[in-house]
Structure 1
Amino acid sequence: MGEGQSCRLGIDTKAVDDLGAELLDWRHKAVPAAMHGRTADEFGSGSLRLSDLQTPLLTLDAAALRGNVAKMARWCAAHGVRLAPHGKTTMAPALWADQLAAGAWGITLANAAQLRVARRFGVEVLMLANSLTDPQAIAWVAGEVASGARIVSWVDSVAGVERLQRILAAADAGPLEVLVEIGGHGGRTGARGVDAALEVARAVRTAPRLRLAGVSGYEGALSHAWDDAGLAPVRAYLNDFRRLHETLAADKGYDTDEVILTAGGSAYFDDVVEILGPCTAPGVAVILRSGAYVIHDDGFYRGISPFSRTDPDADTAFVSAMQFWARVVSRTEPGLAILEGGKRDLPFDEGLPVPLGVGQGLGEPLRPLPGAAITAVNDQHAFLRYPEELEVQPGEVVRLGLSHPCTALDKWTLMPVLDGTADPANPTVVGTVRTFF
């Protein structure tokens, strides 16, 4: 792509495209030895099929990735809000480029190391969903902002504001845009309550090296359910968030041309838009930070996403774009098979994997495994319990549905992207996704 298009998308698309020239070798565990010495572009050129790969293996589905990005972009546009997807979910510049091309405002990240990855690939607009406290990180961010990047970070305490101001003043750097973060009781970061957040905002207003650009927060840490009891703390928190903004706006407490109001993970973004959406006006933007939606899953997000709570298989729902494949390496007890993939290969923090089928090999038709379950995972193994009347043999391949993309992709430096249009059982390798965790 040309330089003009790179700039327009807010990311250096040439740098992203250049990832295809990386030579593959022993460092890429998803790549079979037969492909060592080839480039990532050659690996994803369409000459290989799933059956040419090796296990254990995490793959991505091309159609699901495209569909998820498009669905979220359309929904945000229809509701008049923006999206700064949380890039820490994938740490994949190629997927960030797809999200930016679909209209994302920028990319959200969680720490300075992740910001450096984004700047290496020319991402121009970034949100740090955290407070800057490390002196080297503060100096680096200030330097990037001075060179033309936009990096908006958060503050949640008077002490944090004073530290930022002191370090920036010593370096004769700044100003930096910050958002005052409001938290909820029992949640993660964030000033606890409106009054405490107002104190932080007042501290920012007296700090000449800082500019108050809006309000931030994260509701997802307050609940993991979407029934009335689960939604109650989320909605109460969002109402406090709105009250904080309205108070600051009435007091003319912002120092920006456009106020940013940002909340919204991948579980409750509909509640965020219902409560904060009415605040949208000329000079006020509501920005969601949903990140898991681009990959989605077959576990936690399948059950809680606003698009799939009532019908996970609806046409409007996100589709899991990740699949895990593991061979049976041992079957020495009735009803127990040991698979070769474990904690080093797949996520387990938001629920254990779900067996979706078993076949004689990669690319072979799958037969169902009714009543089967993964009951435990070790570092490199998973325990598959199944009814004894089912036939599961060593060497067969089990497809597993995973829960929580944030702790799935971090275990893989490179993943093949599959297209099953011509052959759903044995899809073609049409690309790769490189991660930088």
Structure 2
Amino acid sequence: MGTDALARLAEERVNHRFKGLPPDADGLTVGELAAQRRNLFTGGFATPVLALSAERLEHNLALMETYAARHGLAFAPHGKTSMAPQLFRRQIERGAWGITLAVPHQVRVARRFGVERVFLANELVDAAALKWISAELDADPGFRFVCYVDSVRGVELMDAALRGASRPLDVVVELGAGEGARTGARTEAECTAVADAVAGTRTLRLVGVAGYEGEVPRADPERVRAWLRRLVALAAGFDAAGRFAGLEEIVVSAGGSAWFDAVADVFAGIPELSAPVLRLLRSGAYVSHDDGHYREVTPFNRVPEEGALEPAFRLWAQVVSRPSAGQAFANAGKRDAAHDLDLPFAQVVRAGGAERPAAGITVTGLSDQHTWLRTDDEAELEVGDWVGMGLSHPCTSFDKWQLIPLAEADGTVVDYVRTFF
């Protein structure tokens, strides 16, 4: 996928645009800096700096590859988590069917870097974006694009924007996860009306059904599986009605990062349909995992024999103020750390070249550029020490850093991951 464009990422010049990188690296290309294999702690990096663990990233990629294969699932991980084409490539090399995205800008990034299959988990009604996607489909016979439809009005807008297209746009009817949930038609009758509207166009082709089980109200295993069974029944009903006639495959898709075990269980029971079924899982947060939200809700907690994901991010900040025995401040803030679900977690302190657990140190708040730390009697912390923090919710970690060091366990930085938000 897009090897030339990916290779050109290494030719980008390092400068003031990229937080945390060594000031004396200005003017080097990313590739030249990576080749120096500098150490994150002694190589001139400036705090705050976010690092991605090379070993844990590889572990997580391998684990989800084997999980999807074991359960007979195709995998289109949600790329909006990272928006990092280098990670897209590694996921596809690990057997991913394609990449899931949410908005047109993200599709443009994916196409720029050669992604051949995109699942857009949203109804797309922007005329300019639809015309661009249509042009991409016309120009590249190998490009596969699938997106949601969840309303008759949406179908009408899409049809109007796509008039004259030479290839129909593949769509899946989105079944909403329940009243008060996010997007999606709420009832099977509404889904049928949307499917009828698609059938009345020449610009759209119905290829399946989809949804997002993470929005099931008061989600628990029973409620999530009940909704997934509705989704499967909707696909079977559409097929029995001849709505998928002539397709080479039928798409049935779900799967965030909290309930993919339920998706695997229910999708294993999809009955034989008139064409092979593409059982498409879309979990994305697994790439870096986290030390908060997803660590608590990962399906691997419920099914430990399947393995375990590992948190791969660590944010390093430096103590810049120690105004009292019970308080300290480090130089990372809301612009550096994910904070939409949980605050960062103090994990280790680094001083004098040695690391120790962050005993007695608790993150209590974030200002724009400061981490508020409460320090108990057992805390050993001085101005100048580095504090390594785990983060919650990778979806809002990648977007704060444009160029992220990929570091081995000893601190050796072996590459840099470029993001596009």
The TM-score, its normalising length taken from structure 2, stands at: 0.94
Distance between the aligned counterparts of 1:172 and 1:99, measured in 2? 31
Residue aligning to 1:59: 51
Deviation at residue 386 of structure 1 after TM alignment: 2.0
Matching residue within 195, 205, 208 for 2:189: 195
Deviation at residue 221 of structure 1 after TM alignment: 2.4
Deviations 1:139-196 (A, max 9, x none): 1111111112211111000111111112212x55541100100112221110002221
SS at match of 1:16: helix
The amino acid across from 1:220 in the alignment is: G
Residue aligning to 2:390: 401
Deviation at residue 359 of structure 1 after TM alignment: 1.6
Deviation at residue 323 of structure 1 after TM alignment: 0.9
Say if 2:359 and 2:378, in contact at 8 Å, map to a contact too.
no
Say if 2:333 and 2:369, in contact at 8 Å, map to a contact too.
yes
The TM-score, its normalising length taken from structure 1, stands at: 0.91
SS at match of 1:44: helix
Say if 1:193 and 1:240, in contact at 8 Å, map to a contact too.
no
Distance between the aligned counterparts of 1:335 and 1:126, measured in 2? 51
Higher deviation after alignment, 67-76 or 12-21: 12-21
Residue aligning to 1:418: 407
Distance between the aligned counterparts of 1:47 and 1:74, measured in 2? 31
Deviation at residue 390 of structure 1 after TM alignment: 1.8
Deviation at residue 334 of structure 1 after TM alignment: 2.5
Say if 1:308 and 1:317, in contact at 8 Å, map to a contact too.
yes
The amino acid across from 2:159 in the alignment is: Q
Residue aligning to 1:99: 91
Say if 2:236 and 2:271, in contact at 8 Å, map to a contact too.
no
Q: Structure 1 residues 406, 168: CA separation in 2 closer, same or farther (over 3 Å shift)?
A: same
Deviations 1:369-405 (A, max 9, x none): 2343211111111111121342211111111010111
Q: What aligned pairs does 1:46-195 form with structure 2 within 5 A after superposition?
A: 46-51=36-41, 52=43, 53-148=45-140, 149-169=143-163, 171-172=164-165, 174-184=167-177, 185-195=179-189
What is the number of residues matched between the two proteins?
Answer: 413
Matching residue within 295, 301, 308 for 1:302: 295
Say if 1:30 and 1:416, in contact at 8 Å, map to a contact too.
no
The alignment's C-alpha RMSD in Å is 1.7
SS at match of 2:269: helix
Residue aligning to 1:221: 215
Residue aligning to 1:4: none
Higher deviation after alignment, 341-350 or 229-238: 229-238
The amino acid across from 1:146 in the alignment is: D
Residue aligning to 1:254: 244
The amino acid across from 2:235 in the alignment is: H
Say if 1:194 and 1:243, in contact at 8 Å, map to a contact too.
no
Distance between the aligned counterparts of 1:310 and 1:371, measured in 2? 32
Structure 1: which 5+ runs fail to align?
Answer: 1-10
Matched, 1:274 2:265: yes
Distance between the aligned counterparts of 2:35 and 2:239, measured in 1? 53
Distance between the aligned counterparts of 1:326 and 1:374, measured in 2? 12
Deviation at residue 246 of structure 1 after TM alignment: 1.4
SS at match of 2:299: coil
Deviations 1:9-50 (A, max 9, x none): xx1123212211111000111312111111111222253101
SS at match of 1:38: coil
Residue aligning to 1:3: none
Once the two structures are aligned, what percentage of the paired residues are identical? 44
Distance between the aligned counterparts of 1:379 and 1:50, measured in 2? 24
